[in-house]
Amino acid sequence: METVTLNDGIEQLKGVGPKRAALYRKLGIETVRDLLSFYPRDYLDLSHPLPITEAPAGEVSAVRGRVFKKQGPQRIRKGLTLYKVFATDGDGELVITIYNSQFLFDALSLDGEYCFYGKVTGSPLRREMSAPLCLPASETLLLRPVYALTEGLTNKMVQANMQDALAVWGDRLTDSLPSALRQQYSLCQLRYAVENIHFPADAQARNLARQRLVFEELLVLQLGLSLLRQKHRRQAGARMEDPELSPFLESLPFTLTDGQLQTIRDGIRDMTGRTPALFAGQADEAAPAPEEVRVPMNRLVQGDVGSGKTMVAAALCYVCVKNGFQAAVMAPTQILAEQHYATLERQLSPLGIRCCLLTSSLTPKARRQTLEGVESGLYGVVIGTHALLRGEVAFQALGLVVTDEQHRFGVAQRAALDRKGNNPHLLVMSATPIPRTLALIIYGDLDVSLIRELPKGRQPIDTFAIDPGKRGRALGFLKKQVDEGRQAYIVCPLIQEDGGELASITRYMEDLQKTPLSACRIGALHGKLKPREKEALMAAFQAGELQILVSTTVVEVGVDVPNANIMLIENAERFGLSQLHQLRGRVGRGQYKSYCVLISGGGAEDTRRRLQVMTSTSDGFRIAEEDLKLRGPGDFFGQRQHGLPELKIASIMEDMDVLEEARQAAQALLRQDPSLSLEEHRGLRAEVRRLFSQSGQVAMN
């Protein structure tokens, strides 16, 4: 036989012509290797058939029986012919209906023993199944793979092709895991794993197979991330020597919380290797050797909404600029960038630091001038969205990058920074609590600072969950707050089926005209507005010219108007808990007693439970945990919010325990062989390259 390789095209398989190959290609399957790693999304479990009388109606079950009667065909109308097959297991009777298939009907022979799998209906005495899966009772594959298919491709076809692939190419499945590692973590061999993930001998074999494949995938992921990181670590960060901060601290209108101070201290130590005089007397003051290569800061700041992360950023920007470098501050939205600009400018310009805002709403001329100022070093702090990292923006000496609320910004994204020269220090700020293991994966080996407390004097936010019947009263209460000089947010979710965001906001504004609020100054903020219009609206709200801001979720992250003390959220059931928490964080930022009113029509039990979490706690970490429990891990980061390569079998959230094991294994491997160049690691190295190239990310060196 001629030699085959796993890179052979899918057309080499029996029964795969150009047409089927095109279907496979739709699923991203081009080679035999791709097919073999096209893992089932689920299994039909025929291994525990129930007695017919005990199969619960309304549920999918497997039962066994002997065919004792066949009836048909019965032509109901054009295009619909029915066949009936009667089976029994001695106690119960099962009636099977087959539609339009003489072939399936003929395949069931009188007196034959079969296993039937399908949804059960009918009474206990006479169970029914409509078009079930029918297998001879002698069938041994009792956990049947179910693949995520595309139109035109059936499970049966994939199973046949898979069988062929395993038979002819199976010998090529050489193990990329060194055998010592397999033994250490009790992992089965690759060939066994691939065979049993597709055609499990039993549940235990399937679990063993999955365990091994998940481990390998997470190991490869972490090896890849570590290699990326190493590359980065070989370079020294922007060199800063002077940790002095006193002028900045003295200019603040408030005293910083302990959490803020600690975080600032951590950041200054990362950047300068020294502890500012302010913190003298505190532990760990080891002065770094001057010649030592100092790696760039890589720090995550986790602090709940309202904990004052912006001031931490301002302090580090101050130190950075005083050391002769520039700082870039990136926000996820334009509105937030504008707000950061206002805050930083107010804080830093009296200290002689010039800030600029780079957004798409600048006129071409203003933009050119700003870019020139950035390049010449006129501006110390540059604020904008992530477009700041685009090629066109040239810095004179970028020393620090701060990202706010951007979870995409992980290890793999760091590479873009390095291209800006100087190996800037990186500070990632987030209000979303991330389990530590996960943070390690997403951000690499970053150091974490926590801000646990909110600034003093904050009043807790009273939260109420009400149904729409009480909306009138809620609006009345809101009006009262506004009359007393406060401001209010009203948040409406996007309602697509109603003709989009604009339509639903417009309708809502019209409805408000029929309420006592019609006398108030109200603005409507939504994604369809031009940047300039949004900016003007936010400015008007911030200045108190607008009393009420009706908004879609663009207001979600970070907007800071301390005079606003009440937020009303419509259709609260449409939001995730973490999102509601973020929204609610827009109020309770000043000295006024604050309120949050959640309106939801859905009387469903789980809606009530979810909203109850909101009324009972204001702890962002607890809310995130509950969110995770109630909604499952899929929603936690949204659609691939984390910027990692796509995984085929492992789930970072669900396989957290394996993740930890794989992390240790990756570290041990790299200690022994830092660039994976040993012969026995060749397979792993190839897997790393494969995983990271498939997602179009930074290639390995």
Provide the minimum distance between the beta carbon of 561 and ligand ADP in the complex, in angstroms, as a whole number: 8
Residue 13 in 3-state DSSP?
coil
CB of 558 to Mg ion, least distance (A): 4
Name the one range near Mg ion by CB under 5 A: 245-253, 538-546, 552-560, 688-696.
552-560
**Both tokens of residue 572?**
């609260």
Owner of token pair 């029986």: 65
Minimal distance in Å, beta carbon 284 to ligand ADP? 24
Interface positions, 584-613, toward ligand ADP (CB under 6 A): 589
Q: Pick the stretch among 101-109, 395-403, 550-558, 653-661 that binds Mg ion (CB under 5 A).
A: 550-558
* Conformational region of residue 161, where left means phi above 0, alpha means psi within -120 to 50, and beta covers everything else: alpha
> Among the candidate windows 324-332, 393-401, 557-565, 591-599, which touches Mg ion by CB under 5 A?
557-565
Residues 6+ apart with CB under 8 A from 316: 264, 267, 268, 271, 327, 400, 402, 427
Whole-number minimum distance, CB 238 to ligand ADP, in Å? 24
Select 411 or 426, whichever has its Cβ closest to ligand ADP.
426
* Nearer CB in complex with ligand ADP: 199/409: 409
Cis-peptide, bond into residue 73, ω within 30° of zero = yes
Closer residue to ligand ADP, CB minimum distance, 310 or 449: 310
The tokens of 307 are what? Answer: 């904990």
Of the two residues 61 and 307, which places its CB atom closer to Mg ion in the complex? 307
Name the residue among 469, 419, 422, 410 with its Cα closest to residue 652.
Answer: 410
The residue count for the chain: 701
Q: Rg of the chain over CA atoms, in angstroms?
A: 31
- Minimum Å gap between C-beta 542 and ligand ADP is 11
Residue recorded with tokens 């062989």: 673
Contact of 233 with 295, CB cutoff 8 Å:
yes
* Contact criterion met (CB below 8 Å) for 566 and 537: no
Q: What Å distances lie between residue 118 and 99, 125, 453, 632, CA to CA?
A: 14, 17, 55, 27
DSSP characters over 481-543: HHHTT-EEEEE----GGGTHHHHHHHHHHHHHTTSGGGGS-EEEE-TTS-HHHHHHHHHHHHT
Please say which residue, 457 or 603, places its beta carbon nearer to ligand ADP: 457
For 483, the token pair is 């009359």
User: Does 309 help bind ligand ADP (rule: CB under 6 A)?
Assistant: yes
Site for ligand ADP in 127-186 (CB under 6 A): none
Q: How many CB atoms lie within 10 A of CB 74?
A: 11
For ligand ADP, the nearest residue by Cβ is: 308
Contact 504, 510 (CB under 8 A): no
Output the smallest distance, CB 329 to ligand ADP, in A.
12
Site string for ligand ADP, 332-351 (x = CB under 6 A): --------------------
Binding residue count for ligand ADP, defined by CB under 6 A: 18
Which member of 310, 334, 385, 449 binds ligand ADP (CB under 6 A)?
Answer: 310
Q: Which is nearer to Mg ion, 403 or 504 (CB)?
A: 403
8 Å CB contact between 696 and 640:
no
Q: Where are the alpha helices (DSSP H) in 349-395?
A: 364-376
Q: Which of 558, 585, 620, 645 binds Mg ion (CB under 5 A)?
A: 558
Task: Give strand pairing partners of 77.
Answer: 80
- What per-residue string of b and e applies to 527-557 under the rule 16 or more CB within 10 Å gives b? eebeeeebbebbeebbeeebbbbbbbbbbbb
DSSP state letter for 697: -
Binding map of ligand ADP across residues 421-450, x = CB under 6 A, - = no contact: ----------x-------------------
**The entry of Mg ion, ligand ADP, none that residue 92 binds, CB within 5 to 8 Å by partner kind:** none
Q: How far is the CB of 483 from ligand ADP (least distance, A)?
A: 24
Residues 237-256 within binding reach of Mg ion (CB under 5 A): none
Cβ atoms of 311 and 346 within 8 Å: the answer is no
The smaller minimum CB distance to ligand ADP, of residues 11 and 258, is found at: 258
Amino acid (1-letter code) at residue 18: P
Beta strands 381-384 and 355-358 are parallel
Given Mg ion, ligand ADP, none, residue 256, with its beta carbon under 5 to 8 Å by kind, binds ligand ADP
Contact segment (CB under 6 A) with ligand ADP among 491-499, 533-541, 555-563, 645-653 equals 555-563
Stretch that binds ligand ADP, among 122-130, 152-160, 306-314, 409-417 (CB under 6 A): 306-314
Q: Minimum CB separation from ligand ADP for residue 627, in Å?
A: 18
Nearer CB in complex with ligand ADP: 405/626: 405
One residue of 32, 94, 194, 256 binding ligand ADP per CB under 6 A: 256
Nearest residue to Mg ion on Cβ basis: 558
The one among 132, 224, 303, 444 contacting ligand ADP by CB under 6 A: 303
Selection from 569, 524, 561 nearest residue 544 by Cα? 561
The answer for residues whose C-beta is within 8 angstroms of residue 260's C-beta and 6 or more apart is 307, 308, 311, 312, 451
- Binding part of the chain for ligand ADP, among 88-96, 187-195, 534-542, 554-562 by CB under 6 A, reads 554-562
3-class secondary-structure state, position 298: strand
Residue placing its CB nearer to Mg ion in the complex, 302 or 422: 302
> In DSSP terms, which residues pair with 330 in a beta bridge?
384, 403
* Residue with smaller CB distance to ligand ADP, 224 or 308: 308
Q: Which of residues 193 and 344 has its CB atom nearest to ligand ADP in the complex?
A: 344
Residue among 408, 373, 240 at smallest CA distance from 317: 240
Q: Which of 299, 227, 297 is nearest to 698 (CA)?
A: 227
Residue 208: CB minimum distance to ligand ADP, A = 46
**Shortest gap between Cβ of 446 and Mg ion (angstroms)?**
19
Tokens of 115: 């296993």
Q: In what order do the strands lie in the sheet with 487-491?
A: 461-466, 594-599, 564-569, 487-491, 548-551, 522-525
Question: Which is nearer to ligand ADP, 581 or 685 (by Cβ)?
Answer: 581
Using rule CB under 6 A, residue 562 touches ligand ADP: yes
Between CA 236 and CA 242, with CA 241 as vertex, the angle to 5 degrees is 145
Q: Which does 359 bind (CB under 5 to 8 A by kind): Mg ion, ligand ADP, none?
A: none
Which residue from 455, 516, 527, 602 is in contact with ligand ADP, where contact means CB under 6 A? 455
Q: In the bound complex, what is the minimum distance in angstroms from residue 429's beta carbon to Mg ion?
A: 7
Scanning 8-16, 242-250, 308-316, 356-364 for contacts with ligand ADP by CB under 6 A, the matching segment is 308-316
DSSP 38: -
Q: Which does 307 bind (CB under 5 to 8 A by kind): Mg ion, ligand ADP, none?
A: ligand ADP
Place of tokens 């903020």: 525
Q: Is 254 in the site for ligand ADP (CB under 6 A)?
A: yes
308 contacts ligand ADP (rule: CB under 6 A): yes
Q: Rule CB under 5 A: which residues touch Mg ion?
A: 558
Binding footprint of ligand ADP on the chain (CB under 6 A): 254, 256-257, 260, 303, 305-311, 431, 455, 558, 560, 562, 589
